[in-house]
Structure formats: C-alpha cells, structure tokens
Structure 1
Amino acid sequence: MGISLSFPAAAVAALPAPYQLRDQCTGDDDAFAADLYRATRDDLRQMPGDPAFVEQLISMQQRAQMLGYRQAYPQASYLVLQSADRPIGRLVIHREGAVLRLVDIAILPEARRQGAALAALTFLQALAAHDQLRIELAVGKDNLAARNLYQRLGFGLHGEDALQQQLAWSAA
C-alpha cells in the first residue's frame, strides 16, 4: 500500500513554506535522483583513479540501491522534497500495516542544515500521528547529524548492528 499525497490538512500544515513534497514521477525527477545520489557519495567521488570509472561506479551503485528498494519495498512511494519549487531532496517511504518506514531520506549537501529534513520529518510525524502509525528507519552510526536530529524529534533506539541503528517513533 503506497502513500498518497492527499494528506489530511493537519499533516500538510506540518510542512512549512518554502518546502513541498510531491510524487517523483518525471524523467527530470529520475535525473535529479541520480544527481542527488552522486552528490551524497563523497566516499566514491574521492576515490583515486579514472574519473570516468568512478562515475560509472557511482551510477552502478545508484541503480543497485534503487533495485534493492524496489525489491524490498515494491509499494514504496518516492517523493521529491522541494524548496521554492526547486528539488533539494528525496524521501522513500513505505507503509505496511501500522508501520510507516522511512526507507531513505537524502538532501543535497548545499541544502542541508537549513530545516529541510526537519520539515520533512515533522510532516511524516504529523501524518503518522493522524493515522496512528509507528515510524521506523535505519541510520548509519557514522551519520551523527542525522542521529542527533532523530533524537531531538523523539525517535528511540529500536535495535542496532555494527553499521546502523534502527530507530522508531510513535505518537502514543
């Protein structure tokens, strides 16, 4: 069961201007998703070697990520986060029963630390509270900024492994 963008008014109010969410549905959105993935992969872009090979590797990794998401979450919704009608990020969300899973959230590096992720997450919390859902997500242990944001928003540790923490939030 996918997520519809016909959210209740209370949830829409949780996404402040200048931010908007919309379905990822055009070829331009696919190109943006590829550019966004590339922008978030400093680890690969800084590899020594032929730049063309590195770009191929990044493209291959992005395709593998998308294939993995589509296999694991076939009914997921892919949303573009915009600021003043300009795409700055993407969310992949999947609802199964009473759980809303934030599969992925990515924000362009130049748009980070300006409130976009906070706006998107509080929007999801309002949606989840309205529909009495639990939000679950995974965050890399090395992603301190994201972990701090999730903690400020009331997400609690649900489990962990060597690389990631599993976090959960519910309004109840």
Structure 2
Amino acid sequence: MSAFLNTSALADGLRLRPARHNDEAFIGQLYRSARPDLQLIDGEDELIRTVQEQQYQVLQRGAGDNYPDAMHFVIEKTGTNIGVVMVDFGHNEVRIIFLAMAPEVRGLGYGKEVLMGLQQAAWQVRAPLAVVVWHSNVQARRLYHQLGFVLEEAGDMADKLVWRPERHSPQGEARVGL
C-alpha cells in the first residue's frame, strides 16, 4: 500500500524523504518540542530531560511493537529539515503515528500540506486515515477537524480522529500527492 505514497512532490516546495540514522537527533529534538506538556514537570532540568527521553523511547518502542512496518519520513523545505511524519499503512487503516513541525514553521500550512497528501494516499487505497491527538493540542485538533477528521474514540487525555475516504474526495485531488 505504501506505493501510493509519493515522497518527492508536495506543494510549497516540500519534500518527504525516508529518515536516516543521522536524523535521530533532529527527530528527538522535534519530539521534545512537540510535547509542551513534558515541560510542565515539576523538577530540575535534568529530570525533565530524562522524562522527555523516556517518553521519546516509549514512542519509538510502541511504534516498533505496534506498527513494525511504519515508515519514518523527514519533511524538508528547500533542503532544510522542518518536520517529521511517521505513518503506517496497515491494520486496515493508514495511521499517523507522529507528525510534528519545527517550532519556527508551525502554523505556516506545511503540516496541512502533509496531511492533505496523506488523505490523498488514503483515498487511493480506500482506507481510513487515523490519528490520536492530545486534548491539549488545540491547534492540531482544529486542523484535523478542518480537514474532515471526526471523533471516533474519546479518551481521557487524547482522542482518536478518523478521516474516511468514502465520505470525502481528497483535498487537492488533481495535484500530485504524497
């Protein structure tokens, strides 16, 4: 199914490329910046860094255990790393495991472009596109709702949102997708 994921051509000069081993520091830093809730820990800087690293390892292990075929991509704009997306084409759905943009480019529409490309890929394989979003991530929740995602499972701290291709045509269907 991943053959529907065009990693080279997105709008706005964006490009996805498979993550490499030397991207690990960038991805870890981006993960920490995307989890402001971990900054609220009451403790010294070393404790906060330790908890952040542990949570990042939980993400990596959980993705590996639950989504062994997940694909990890770095999002680039004109050769500069600006984000990361981890996605899995399995379990009868396309699952966004992790999507984050660098703090300096958040709110500029690049995440939306990536999501629209993922919607197009999900539409091509006729599979729902799913994501789990923290309640505290108001900006992301707003974007997902704007793109047609609906609540499927409510949780105490996060909800599963799903976009179903049978209810929508993909955004920007005529352009080359992800």
Does residue 140 of structure 1 match 2:134? yes
- Corresponding position of 2:105: 111
Aligned-partner Cα distance in 1 for 2:75–2:40:
27
Does residue 37 of structure 1 match 2:24? no
For structure 2, the residue ranges without an aligned partner over 5 or more in a row are 167-178
Instruction: Give the counterpart letter for 2:88 in structure 1.
Output: H
- Corresponding position of 2:75: 81
Q: CA deviation at 1:4?
A: 4.7
| Structural mapping, 1:144-163, within 5 Å | 144-163=138-157
Structure 1 residues 44, 158: CA separation in 2 closer, same or farther (over 3 Å shift)? closer
Aligned-partner Cα distance in 2 for 1:45–1:157:
27
> For 2:108, what is the secondary structure of its paired residue?
coil
Instruction: Give the counterpart letter for 1:61 in structure 2.
Output: Q
**65, 72, 94: which one pairs with 2:88?**
94
- TM-score by structure 1 length? 0.85
Q: Percent identity?
A: 27
Aligned-partner Cα distance in 2 for 1:58–1:113:
24
* Aligned 8 A contact 1:155 1:168 in 2: yes
The Cα RMSD (Å) is 2.1
For structure 1, the residue ranges without an aligned partner over 5 or more in a row are none
- Deviation sequence 1:55-86 (CA, Å, 0-9, x none): 23322221122111111111111111112211
Q: Return 136-145 or 54-63, whichever deviates more.
A: 54-63
> For 2:56, what is the secondary structure of its paired residue?
helix
Runs of 4+ with >6 A deviation: none
Does residue 25 of structure 1 match 2:23? no
Q: CA deviation at 1:46?
A: 4.9
- Deviation sequence 1:108-144 (CA, Å, 0-9, x none): 2211000111000000011111222211111112211
Aligned-partner Cα distance in 2 for 1:68–1:51:
25
Aligned-partner Cα distance in 2 for 1:43–1:139:
13
